[in-house]
Structure 1
Amino acid sequence: MRVLGLILAGGKSDRLWPLTKVRASAAVPVFGKYRAIDFTLSNMVNSGIRKVGILTQYNPRSLMDHLGSGKEWDLDRKSGGLFILQPYVGPNREVWYRGTADAIFQNMTILRRGEEDHVLIGSGDHIYKMIYRDLFNYHLKKGADITLVVKELDETYNLSEYGIVQLDDDMRVVEIEEKPAHPKGNIAFLGVYFMNKELLKELLYATVPQGKYDLLLDIVIPNLDRLKVYAYRFDGYWRNVKKGIKEYYRINMDILKKEVRDELFYRNGKVYTKLKDLPPPKFTTTAVVENSLIADGSIVSGTVRNSVIFRNVRIKVGAVVENSIIMENTVVEEGAVLRNVILDKNCIVREGRVIEGDTELPVFEKRAVL
């Protein structure tokens, strides 16, 4: 399968503020030592895609540092490989991407020069595990022009925040409502497109120069009657990090469930990430740890329950951490108590300090001495 992978990773996501104050939403840390983009990128690599373009623009430094040359994903190669596609100043060019279609249009060179027949477009801030070969085979079987990945969402999702899809009996898309106030159903588009490369080029040339810049709103939806747009149903775990701090908290708490861990990390290939040369976590004789994820380099001497502890964290004697997310290089000193808290990198929680939120509104603290 000759497929070009494109990952949309330029989002600012004001709803994730202040987590996105210093990083793109695709670079937000999750699960102790991963970044959100690791999942879509690993899905592509596990599916045999060997040429991937990352379309980014907002606060790209930490994302670029994480991706590097693509070595961890076996994308540091002579043929294909990893391409970081940022906006730049040039003749007749805008500096910023004005939408998802415009971002691809401004990087038309990667489409023109490649030998791939199809293009897979995904988002860098979605957490899920999927082998795209099945999507590829489905697309060919249906004779589709465009195939969209969809999922039936349950009551834990706010349906008005998603594109709701109406299908006929053959799984052909007949209508898409983008973030409707009163959704007609619960089948949502997951932001994954699969299409013929030449068709994508034709649609971009016909649309973007006319001042229409969004891939879904300006290209897919207006062409539902003219093109054969089909839906591919995905039934696994899927969450969108950029939906807000509450959603980010939920995603990290979900990894403490065995069924979610099994699906994300033990099925359909590995999840690759940038490694750091750190020792395994250490637990002293005073440590109490229950149902928690503790990453490399951390030393736990206190009590940790139902929490995600990132790399190189120190939780000292007498400290209590419950239902919390503690990011890299943080120190929780003696006697401190943290419940329903998200701490960004490089925080220091002073001795005896108590910080408490709740599951509906977890407390977020940025890099500081608390």
Structure 2
Amino acid sequence: MPQTSLMMTLQFSSSGTPVNVQAKHFLIPGLGRYDNKYSPKLPSKFPKASIFNSHQIPNPILHQPPVNQSVAAIVFGDGSESRLYPLTKRRSEGAIPIASNYRLIDAVVSNCINSNINKIYALTQFNSTSLNSHLSRAYSGASLGKEGFVEVIAAYQSPEDQGWFQGTADAIRRCLWVLEEYPVAEFLVLPGHHLYKMDYQKVIESHRNRKSDITIVASNGITKRDQDPGVGVLKINTENQVMQYSLKSNKEPVNYAVAETLTRCNDSSYSYIPSMGIYLINRATMVNLLNNHFPKAMDFGTEVIRGALSLGMKVEAYLFEGYWEDMRSIEAFYQANMECIKKLNTGYKLVLYLPMEA
């Protein structure tokens, strides 16, 4: 049975377990114990992440092929939207502080590290100075195993591309020359300002078992998105195959239904669930879609995903049951931050394996 000692635990549950920030070791689930004694020293306000490589752990539990060699994460740390303004007046969404010592993007990077994904690219553009500084300093001493890294790719201009990134799809397309440096099999596309705890290995396992071209993670939990215009809505069948991708508007309410209650929808054969904006896509599929089928697409969800569906590609939904907050308003951010600090009851427990110096 895996041990449970942690360097830092942020409680979102009613158990009232105190936050432990003094422990001298922490554990990677299913992998083992890491003693912080010999880890690089960083300033106290910067978290650092540590993970073992295969030479340091007896009997490691790894997927075939190993996830840390076959999957790379693409994290979007910012956006041009002003829904969290004035918090984003001088910094991007991913750089907004939460739980005192952390930034929103740390939760997503922590999920990657603890899912054994050690190739992490952070694409940044708007108000990115604070975020770029945080990522480069906080994770520069991280032990991410052989060929592991957290690399910032800032928006750039070139003779071929004289404008800035025009959207998520455009950003990925223009960075493919960097993203294809390693022979990974899949790319995991992630928003960098959402708050949740997820084992991405389960998403990868489902994706490979179902032989999908694209897997979209959707919220099947208690989090409500009925009042959120602009959220992506997936129409899925009883096999969790995505039939349609659309954006919720103010004029068209969506009758969401969890997978177990499909009959609540107007059409009993389908369910409508909110997309979390998380995409696992085969490398060859992504390159083909971005360069050949939709070379001018700007947005990954509304253009590339819809385009993949129109081409008849196999797009599946992975249903996530846990807590998820996508920070679509100042109120949502405030509530999440207060719950994190005061350990109020939300039915959610977030664990960050990002040790802080005592």
- Normalised to the residue count of structure 1, the TM-score between the two structures is 0.68
Q: Could you say which residue in structure 2 is the equivalent of 1:169?
A: 238
Alignment partners' CA distance in 2, 1:115 and 1:156 = 38
In structure 1, the gaps of 5 or more residues are: 280-370
Paired residue type of 1:183? P
Alignment partners' CA distance in 2, 1:203 and 1:227 = 11
Alignment partners' CA distance in 1, 2:193 and 2:301 = 17
Q: 1:58-97 counterparts in 2 under 5 A?
A: 58-68=126-136, 70-71=139-140, 73-75=142-144, 79-97=147-165
Paired residue type of 1:251? A
Change (3 A) 1:73 1:122: farther
- Shift in Å at residue 217 of structure 1? 1.0
Alignment partners' CA distance in 1, 2:339 and 2:230 = 20
Paired residue type of 1:131? D
Q: Could you say which residue in structure 2 is the equivalent of 1:56?
A: 124
Q: Does 1:216 align with 2:301?
A: yes
SS of residue paired to 1:135: helix
Q: Could you say which residue in structure 1 is the equivalent of 2:260?
A: none
SS of residue paired to 2:254: coil
CA RMSD of aligned residues (A): 2.1
Q: Could you say which residue in structure 2 is the equivalent of 1:236?
A: 322
- Shift in Å at residue 95 of structure 1? 3.2
- Would you say the 8 A contact 2:73–2:120 is kept in 1? yes
- Deviations 1:108-153 (Å, cap 9, x if unpaired)? 1123221111111101000000011111110011111100000136
- Shift in Å at residue 80 of structure 1? 3.5
SS of residue paired to 1:127: coil
- Shift in Å at residue 254 of structure 1? 2.6
Alignment partners' CA distance in 1, 2:223 and 2:95 = 27
- Would you say the 8 A contact 2:206–2:318 is kept in 1? yes
Q: Could you say which residue in structure 2 is the equivalent of 1:194?
A: 280
- Would you say the 8 A contact 1:13–1:25 is kept in 2? no
Q: Could you say which residue in structure 2 is the equivalent of 1:272?
A: 354
Q: 1:1-370 counterparts in 2 under 5 A?
A: 1=67, 2-68=70-136, 70-71=139-140, 73-75=142-144, 79-152=147-220, 154=222, 156-157=224-225, 158-181=227-250, 182-186=252-256, 187-207=273-293, 209=295, 211-225=296-310, 226-241=312-327, 243-255=328-340, 256-257=342-343, 260=346, 263-265=349-351, 270-272=352-354, 275=356
- Would you say the 8 A contact 1:172–1:230 is kept in 2? yes
SS of residue paired to 1:188: strand
Structure with larger Rg: 1
Alignment partners' CA distance in 2, 1:110 and 1:202 = 16
In structure 2, the gaps of 5 or more residues are: 1-66, 257-272
What is the number of residues matched between the two proteins? 269
Paired residue type of 2:103? R
- Would you say the 8 A contact 2:186–2:283 is kept in 1? yes
Between the aligned residues of both structures, percent identity stands at 30
Alignment partners' CA distance in 1, 2:247 and 2:343 = 31
Alignment partners' CA distance in 2, 1:169 and 1:11 = 34
- Shift in Å at residue 90 of structure 1? 1.3
- Normalised to the residue count of structure 2, the TM-score between the two structures is 0.70
